[in-house]
Amino acid sequence: MSTDTKQQTFSEIIKGETPVLVDFYADWCAPCKMMVPILQELKSKMGDSLNILKIDTDRNPDAAIKYQVRGIPTLILFKEGNILWQQAGVVRTSQLEAIINQKLSEYESV
């Protein structure tokens, strides 16, 4: 019996059933640092119903190019591999939670 846990790739994670909020950031970016407590609060509110990933654009420029990240921080909401929402800039927790819930309900009703 194997006890190895399989590392999921980025594309596997964003194609999953659980919605994924991806934060494209850089260590030197002051607004990006403002997103850290916001995302922590969001995760504590939404729990396992949402995965949050952080992608360092300096270390992963190909991902930033692929998703047309023009400014940081950029947040992208994925569900089953589809982009439901994308926005650059700092977003407050309450606003972010409302946007995510709205986009997910729109997606589910299609």
Active site residues: 29, 32
Q: Rounded to an integer, what distance in angstroms lies between the CA atom of residue 109 and that of residue 43?
A: 24
Residue 10: DSSP 8-state: H
CB atoms within 10 A of CB 72: 22
Q: Rounded to an integer, what distance in angstroms lies between the CA atom of residue 50 and that of residue 42?
A: 9
CB contact at 8 A, 53 and 10: yes
